[in-house]
């Protein structure tokens, strides 16, 4: 494998160099590759009025994008009650995830809970236990923040080696939305925390209104820091499957703690050690012991295109390599990309400066020579942490884990532009 990397091409001759190879650009002749005259004649779609729009319906993607969905495979989970659906990150750009294709994890299906029926109780070590209606929550001062939500099991099947052929399935248990909600701190202060005494060792236990309840313990320090009780995502109500009407947002921490259909918050003297934080969402090491309280999602990144579901179709020449990076410990400060399996690295361009616990989009614009590549990306965050290789991660964690796999991903992009999930050593 040899790669001749020329860096960013001269802008003026950007695509001209590619014309001969792809045949898709026509110059002065104004004809496309097939030789058809273009645009100088009236196109079919310009010869009459277009379609009317029924604006009483929610606006849907065009039919040509019907493959940009959360799931087009049946084989990953046995049913739709206990299941996982994936963000089609291979087909998206930018950083915001539309709710319509944002990943979901269901422990006991999705419940339909109206605002009128909704109640949120705060009890335990508080001065005054309180029950809030949805309308009550709307009266508290609100904040807006864009945060990523990643399932602890994202990339989990890769512990055993390259398994799933597509960024949607290896890295698509993540979404990134603008949340509007109330700081949990404000609700706890409303109930009064004097009864809890010294807050240093206190916890909150949070649970949802669905049958799984999905209860989790959160240290008081985090609860009073940046946790939100949210009712909007990307401006609109949460989807039913995302916890309508109210979910918890626990920035930077594993998605399992982002309780949907939030119904109760109990202030306690210790962690509850619930099912979801003992038999699951712990990380078993090589010696058989398990790490617990591994809440934070460490810095991670993935190239979303080219990738197995987004092969290169245009031949050699200018190529946009793009992907996502994120860190639960702060903001992304940089992303490096390698096209030779980690031998050489080049700093990618961030679409915007990284923000706290949110997705960053990165780009590397190259002049592809048409030879195979072993594509990797490596994230760096504001804590100084650098995303590890698969080898480095296994060295520390062994092979028994399911959760918290944040290793560097490799796509083998072949000369024909098709890509495969592989491991390099």
Using the rule CB under 8 A, give the single segment among 30-38, 149-157, 396-404, 410-418 that binds its own copies.
30-38
Closer by beta carbon to its own copies, 134 or else 345: 134
Site for its own copies in 179-208 (CB under 8 A): 179-180, 186, 189-190, 192
Closer by beta carbon to its own copies, 291 or else 314: 314
Q: How far is the CB of 320 from its own copies (least distance, A)?
A: 6
- List the one residue out of 318, 317, 340 whose CA is nearest residue 413: 340
Using the rule CB under 8 A, give the single segment among 71-79, 250-258, 294-302, 330-338 that binds its own copies.
71-79
H or E element, residue 248: strand 247-249
Closer by beta carbon to its own copies, 298 or else 367: 367
Q: Work out which of 90, 106, 300, 404 binds its own copies, going by CB under 8 A.
A: 106
Site for its own copies in 366-425 (CB under 8 A): none
Cα–Cα dist 401/291, whole Å:
10
Using the rule CB under 8 A, give the single segment among 13-21, 334-342, 380-388, 405-413 that binds its own copies.
13-21
Q: How far is the CB of 409 from its own copies (least distance, A)?
A: 20
Angle (CA) 5-11-12 rounded to 5° is: 125
Q: Work out which of 2, 4, 114, 425 binds its own copies, going by CB under 8 A.
A: 114
Q: How far is the CB of 277 from its own copies (least distance, A)?
A: 20
**Which residue in the block uniquely carries the two structure tokens 């592989």?**
422
412 phi and psi angles, rounded to 5 deg: -90, 105
Number of Cβ atoms within 10 Å of the Cβ of 277: 20
Does 94 participate in binding its own copies (rule CB under 8 A)?
A: yes
Cα–Cα dist 150/325, whole Å:
12
Q: How far is CA 158 from CA 144, 182, 404, 418, in A?
A: 34, 37, 11, 20
Closer by beta carbon to its own copies, 214 or else 282: 214
Quick note: the x/- pattern for its own copies over 282-321, rule CB under 8 A, is -------------------------------xx--xxxx-
Q: How far is the CB of 303 from its own copies (least distance, A)?
A: 14
Contact of 403 with 320, CB cutoff 8 Å: no
Q: Work out which of 168, 170, 196, 210 binds its own copies, going by CB under 8 A.
A: 210
Closer by beta carbon to its own copies, 107 or else 222: 107
Site for its own copies in 248-267 (CB under 8 A): 261, 263-264
Q: How far is the CB of 331 from its own copies (least distance, A)?
A: 15
Closer by beta carbon to its own copies, 43 or else 279: 43
Q: Work out which of 62, 78, 160, 396 binds its own copies, going by CB under 8 A.
A: 62
Q: How far is the CB of 226 from its own copies (least distance, A)?
A: 14
Number of Cβ atoms within 10 Å of the Cβ of 128: 10
Closer by beta carbon to its own copies, 188 or else 407: 188
Cα–Cα dist 216/114, whole Å:
24
Cα–Cα dist 420/165, whole Å:
6
- List the one residue out of 70, 256, 99, 252 whose CA is nearest residue 178: 99
Closer by beta carbon to its own copies, 178 or else 372: 178
Contact of 220 with 178, CB cutoff 8 Å: no
Cα–Cα dist 90/351, whole Å:
17
Cα–Cα dist 185/189, whole Å:
6
Cα–Cα dist 355/331, whole Å:
5
């Amino acid at each position: 494998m040899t790669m001749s990397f020329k860096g960013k091409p001269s802008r003026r001759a950007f695509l001209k160099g590619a014309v001969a190879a792809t045949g898709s650009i026509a110059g002065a002749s104004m004809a496309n590759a097939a030789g058809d005259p273009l645009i100088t004649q009236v196109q079919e779609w310009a010869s009459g009025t277009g379609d009317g729009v029924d604006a009483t319906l929610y606006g849907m993607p065009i039919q040509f994008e019907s493959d940009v969905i959360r799931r087009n495979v049946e084989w990953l989970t046995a049913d739709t009650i206990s299941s996982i659906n994936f963000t089609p990150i291979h087909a998206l750009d930018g950083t915001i995830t539309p709710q319509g294709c944002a990943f979901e994890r269901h422990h006991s299906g999705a419940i339909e809970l109206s605002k009128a029926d909704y109640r949120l109780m705060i009890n335990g070590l508080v001065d005054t236990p309180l029950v809030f209606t949805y309308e009550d929550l709307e009266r508290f001062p609100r904040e807006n923040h864009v945060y990523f939500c990643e399932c602890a099991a994202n990339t989990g099947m890769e512990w055993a080696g390259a398994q799933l052929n597509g960024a949607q399935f290896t890295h698509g248990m993540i979404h990134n939305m603008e949340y509007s909600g109330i700081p949990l701190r404000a609700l706890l202060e409303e109930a009064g925390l004097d009864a809890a005494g010294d807050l240093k060792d206190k916890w909150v236990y949070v649970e949802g209104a669905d049958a799984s309840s999905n209860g989790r313990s959160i240290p008081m320090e985090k609860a009073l820091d940046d946790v939100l009780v949210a009712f909007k995502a990307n401006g609109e109500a949460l989807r039913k499957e995302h916890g309508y009407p109210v979910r918890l947002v626990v920035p930077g921490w594993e998605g399992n703690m982002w309780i949907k259909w939030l119904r109760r918050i109990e202030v306690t003297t210790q962690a509850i050690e619930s099912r979801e934080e003992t038999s699951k969402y712990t990380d078993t090491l090589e010696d058989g012991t398990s790490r617990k309280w591994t809440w934070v999602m460490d810095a991670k990144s993935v190239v979303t295109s080219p990738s197995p579901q987004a092969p290169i179709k245009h031949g050699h020449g200018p190529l946009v390599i793009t992907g996502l990076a994120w860190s639960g410990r702060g903001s992304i400060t940089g992303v490096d990309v390698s096209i030779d399996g980690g031998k050489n690295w080049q700093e990618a361009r961030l679409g915007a400066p990284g923000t706290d616990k949110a997705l960053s989009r990165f780009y590397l614009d190259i002049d592809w020579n048409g030879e195979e590549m072993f594509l990797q990306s490596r994230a760096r965050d504001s804590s100084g942490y650098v995303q590890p290789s698969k080898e480095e991660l296994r060295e520390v964690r062994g092979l028994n884990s399911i959760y918290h796999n944040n290793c560097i991903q490799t796509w083998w992009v072949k000369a024909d532009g098709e890509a495969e999930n592989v491991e390099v050593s």
